[in-house]
Chains A and B, each alone.
Chain A
Amino acid sequence: MYKYDQYDQAMVDTRVAEFRDQTQRRLEGKLSEDQFKPLRLQNGLYLQLHAYMLRVAVPYGTLSSAQMHMLADIADKYDRGYGHFTTRQNIQYNWIKLEDAPDILADLATVEMHAIQTSGNCIRNISSDQFAGAAADEIADPRPYAELLRQWSSFHPEFLALPRKFKIAVIASQTDRAAMKLHDIGIRIVKNEAGELGAAFYVGGGMGRTPMIAPCIKEFVPLDQLITYSEACLRVYNRYGRRDNKYKARIKILVHELGKDEYTRQVEEEFAHLQTQGIEPPLAELERIKAHFADPAFEAAASDDLDLSDPGFALWVERNCVAHKQPGYIIANISLKPVGGIPGDASAEQIHLMADLAKAYSFDELRVTHAQNIVLPHVKKADLHALWQKLDAAGLGTANLDTVEDIIACPGLDYCSLANARSIPVAQKISQRFAETGKTETLGELKLKISGCINACGHHHAGHIGILGVDRKGVENYQLLLGGCEGDDTSLGQITGPGFDEDGIVGAVETATNVYLANRQDGERFLDTYRRIGMAPFKEALYG
């Protein structure tokens, strides 16, 4: 894992001191809320429905046990004993007091964490593949490149007041597990014919009220030009992105309105200019960062045997574990989606336990996924049963990854001041419905995603089944979408028709799955069947 150097630590410590002073001046009345709001937002502090909310950055979703313990300590000491893992691999606390915020940031700084650039019109936390460094299918660990981009984008003076927020994802495998094409910039580390590593740039994707899939604007950028090309992409956006209308201010609108070819031409022009300016960090810096991401000390002769005689364990292995690049090891996913639970929430006790288990079984490392789950990336197969038993005893052994119960849901109207409808109760009812009917296993892979408003924090556009909560004359209403996908074959869901009330949407989801079961052919997932038979049979079943 990356360790702060003196400059990283000094930057974070300085920011904590600065924010402590700003908070004090706000409490003393020397700053108005209009003056203070942009300052607190730059430090991840929102004012939400019930209290202040603090969003803490988890760079590319990677955490050490010590950092995870600190997240639990903050939940206990300053919040109400729990945290909410988000769809951008971060964590949010919902009950923060303004007067405590500087102390929380100081505590975070002691474990090399912060909340900088988790809000505002700047480059946000860089996200990545949750299996980075462990996946059997990756060509490189994407995290050194994500870390280089993190350092470049942190406090970048030119990009702290962009037209709108800006999200970057970096992956290095053919399988896209980070919704890369639905980011402002998606970067895929690739190999060219000569076997050299480079970066493919996908620019102008996003969800929200105008969902778009990012086109590839450059198939191969040499790694010693990664930052320069990123800077060129941002510069064109910063110069021409719309500032007159926040709903048209994201880069996806600029790329769409200019057209991919014209946007690319301008980026190339800017890129040519920037190459004369010498802004690229030396490769030695990338090598310094890479050294932090060296493989842990895997046991060379670790056994690949797994005793699957315990049926509960066997189901969990089948559903929640993924092949590791190292023989004798496996990637273990911890579902934060117990049946009827709140997607992404974990108690302080559970967070402490996951930190302890990472220390004992996963080389001190954890990951947060954009699907609001936790990963122990490097578990020796010989330890897997013992790990599962401890997880299961703590309510963390649910075997439902990528099933209809593994629902992504934003906080919705229960917590969020932007939401129009509640998301969590819908997720709870759906997972309960399918668990009760026993259909979860029968349905197989089915990604269901719920947003409580058009901002799409719950990624409803990218769900095989998506649900969007809207406000219909003061009453919650839910639109159903089908056919979204965030993976290699990214697609955007289409609305089925008129919306449903809270109970109606649960029934509508079940109806849609019944259409799938009645029509599926061998080996088809819900998404495959939908793509083959189209919307019509689903509409017929839903609306008659």
Chain B
Amino acid sequence: MKILTGNDLKTGAVVWWTGYDWSIHVEDAVDVDGEADAIAAREEGARRVNGPYAIDAQREDNGGVRPAHIKDRIRALGPTVRPDLTLKPADPNAGNWVI
């Protein structure tokens, strides 16, 4: 699947396109294959996102979404060296998902 990501203009937070809005949780991302450029142009023009781009990802068995490249998995979770600053600070196995 192709998913769309970027950074929130005001906060810089990593965000993912959910089909109607942006979420900080990658598991909310939807397949945008074929529509990525149009959505990106529209959303960037509306100042809801900064620098949107499409990436490869796969749907996981548990319904989650896993970006294909490690860089985007780190973007999705947070720095692997500061689990307390990730989106899942209470999950001791969250870092394994990145690697």
Residues of A within 8 A of B (CB): 26-27, 29, 33, 47-52, 80, 94-99, 342, 413-415, 417, 419, 422, 424-425, 428, 474-476
Contacts and interface: CB of A to CB of B under 8 A. Distances in A.
Interface in B2-18: 7, 9-14
B37 to A, nearest CB: 16
Interface in B60-99: 68-71, 74-75, 78-82, 85
Contact of B75 (A49, A97, A425, A474): A49
A98 B12 contact: yes
B59 interface: no
Contacts of B42: none
B70 A415 contact: no
B47 A29 contact: yes
Contacts of A33: 44, 50-51
Chain B interface, >50% SS class = loop
Given A50-B78, A80-B85, A428-B81, A413 B12 contact: no
A48 B79 CA distance: 12
A51 B11 contact: yes
B12 A51 contact: yes
Contacts of B82: 342, 414
Nearest to A342: B81
B16 to A, nearest CB: 13
A97 to B, nearest CB: 5
Contact of B12 (A29, A47, A342, A419): A47
Nearest to A48: B12
Given A49-B71, A80-B85, A425 B80 contact: yes
A45 to B, nearest CB: 9
B98 to A, nearest CB: 9
A407 B49 CA distance: 37
Given A33-B50, A425-B81, A414 B74 contact: yes
Contacts of A80: 85
5 A-B pairs with least C-beta separation: A51-B12, A52-B12, A414-B79, A424-B81, A97-B11
A422 B9 contact: no
Contact of A98 (B10, B69, B81): B10
Contacts, number: 69
Contacts of A475: 70
Chain A interface, >50% SS class = mixed
22 contacts: A27-B47, A47-B50, A47-B51, A48-B12, A49-B79, A50-B12, A50-B13, A50-B75, A95-B12, A98-B9, A98-B10, A342-B81, A413-B71, A413-B74, A414-B79, A414-B81, A414-B82, A415-B79, A422-B74, A474-B69, A474-B70, A476-B70
A428 B82 CA distance: 12
A434 B53 CA distance: 42
Contacts of A415: 79
Nearest to B10: A99
Contacts of A49: 14, 71, 74-75, 79
A424 B82 CA distance: 10
Contacts of B51: 33, 47
A474 B81 CA distance: 19
A295 B39 CA distance: 61
Nearest to A411: B79
A50 B78 CA distance: 7
A97 B70 CA distance: 24
B5 to A, nearest CB: 11
A51 B47 CA distance: 16
A33 to B, nearest CB: 6
Nearest to A421: B70
B79 A50 contact: yes
Given A29-B47, A80-B85, A425-B81, A51 B7 contact: yes
Interface string B10-33: 111110000000000000000000
A476 B50 CA distance: 27
B11 A98 contact: yes
Contacts of B7: 47, 51
Contacts of B78: 50
Contacts of B70: 413, 474-476
Contacts of A425: 80-81
